[in-house]
Amino acid sequence: MFRWTWKGPERSNASKSLNAIDQSEDTVEAKSSRTGAIVAMHQTGRPRWTPRDYGALAQQGFARNPIVYRSIRMIAEAAASVQILCQCGDERLNDHPVLALLRRPNEGQAGVDWLEMVFGHLLVSGNAYVEAVYGASALRELHALRPDRMKVIPGGDGWPEAYAYSVGSRTVRFVQETDSQPTNPILHLTLFHPHDDHYGLSPLEAAQTSLDVHNAAAGWNKALLDNSARPSGALVYAANEAGNLSDEQFERLKRELEEGYQGALNAGRPLLLEGGLDWKSMSMSPRDMDFIEAKNSAAREIALAFGVPPMLLGIPGDNTYANYAEANRAFWRQTVLPLATRCLQSLAIWLSPAFDAPFDLKVDLDQISALASEREALWRRVGDASFLSDDEKRAAVGYAPSVPDPETRDPEDGEGGS
């Protein structure tokens, strides 16, 4: 659900000039990258659409390819299902307002659904956009916006100065630096792209060749089934004194073959031939059968681009994991946790100004069943380390130092105790 919101007028050039004069009088030093002006020379103030066909990637990849669909769903669902911890300094807070916001980011979505949408957009396009909606004085809602409708408008320093979201003939412009709210209205999450300053690179783009091969192999299989699930043959006409077939006879014979003997419904139907006609079946050579291995190889490369072990997708071949549990642990450690961690860190940095104090958002590793054996081994090793204090053991497993109970403190401290 998308809600149109009024963001207020932009500041005039005169007010910007006055602000610049005030800053110069107060000798406020502003830091900026020296390469920012070079980056922005050819694109200042001009919108830059996503330099890829998001619709084609979503349609040919996610909507039509089972390997891509399952890979994205597995990663997005796993990353959205993690238990989120809020930590301010050394204190872990269970009732922080940001946790309530992430559990119900808006009226139409639960937290898991919203996070799955954000991660799904990030995996399909390499970009994800989150809008912050403020009420009278506080942050009220978070919305995930479609990447194909968003464009970046770079500023003079090379960083985005605004974002434009278009639906049909309507466009909403989100100015990043505004005095009406403590945070920027848009958070732009990207995956690393070596050739683009503003947009991320989708795993689908890296696997596009393998995706085309896999889809072509599936189309080949479908065509084979449509032709009675066997290779085509040749209908040979033994010419006699009557000569070759006339054009009318040739077209009639071709039409009868297409209408009466092709397709899955006509599989196994006997072929009735007239005099002088002979059916020669053509078998597939070993080279023709290589398409099966080519399809499996393409599926493994797609899974590799997304970081999903082929064993978890049911792809036959050279599985490098001893068992399913080991593959599942590798999937969480190498794919899900890095993605969830970097997105939660970006959300924490973006949302912190809207609350009283800065905070960190982390994944609660103790609540991930796939990592239960690793956590159990860690707890055992730390518990057996006699050279560590209790607070050092707590820090080693990710907990804050313990707070002593006032009723059990040492009487020499002069506070409480018995």
Say which residue the tokens 């390499």 belong to.
Answer: 126
Does any domain span residue 16? Answer: no
Domain assignment present for residue 9? The answer is no
Look at residue 289 and tell me if it is in a domain: no
Do 277 and 333 belong together in one domain? no
Strands (E), 225-308: 233-237, 277-281
142 and 237 part of one domain = no
Q: Are 200 and 341 in the same domain?
A: yes
What whole-number distance in Å separates Cα of residue 106 and Cα of residue 1? 9
Please indicate, yes or no, if residue 15 is contained in any of the structural domains. no
Same structural domain for residues 74 and 53? Answer: yes
Do 220 and 237 lie in one domain? The reply is no
Which distant-in-sequence residues (6+ apart) come within 8 Å of 209 by Cβ? none
Residue 268 covered by a domain: yes
pTM score, whole prediction: 0.72
71 shares a domain with 143? yes
Same domain, 175 and 149: yes
Q: Is residue 306 assigned to a domain? A: yes
Long-range contacts of 364-373 (CB under 8 A, 24+ apart): 364/82, 364/83, 364/84, 364/85, 365/398, 367/82, 367/83, 368/82, 368/332, 370/325, 370/328, 370/329, 370/331, 370/332, 371/329, 371/332, 371/333, 373/325, 373/329
In sequence order, the 6+-apart residues with CB closer than 8 A to the CB of 348 are: 98, 358, 359, 360, 361
Contact, 148 vs 50, CB < 8 A?
Answer: yes
Residue 94 and residue 234: Cα distance in Å, rounded? 74
Is-contact 211 61, C-beta < 8 A? Answer: yes
Q: How many domains does the chain have?
A: 2
Helix, strand, or coil here: 281? strand
- Sign for the CA dihedral angle at 380, 381, 382, 385 comes to positive
Instruction: Going residue by residue through the chain, which has 418 residues, state the pLDDT in tens, using 9 for 90 and above.
Output: 444 444 444 444 444 443 444 444 455 555 656 565 555 555 555 665 444 578 888 888 888 899 999 999 999 999 999 999 998 887 888 889 999 999 999 999 999 999 999 999 999 999 999 999 988 778 899 999 999 999 999 888 888 899 999 998 999 999 987 777 888 899 999 999 998 888 999 998 888 888 888 888 888 777 766 665 454 566 666 666 555 667 777 777 777 766 666 655 555 555 655 666 666 666 555 555 567 788 888 999 999 999 999 989 988 876 677 788 888 999 999 999 999 999 999 999 999 999 888 999 999 888 888 888 877 777 787 777 877 787 777 777 766 677 665 555 555 555 444 4
25 part of a folded domain: no
Domain containing residue 255 = 232-282
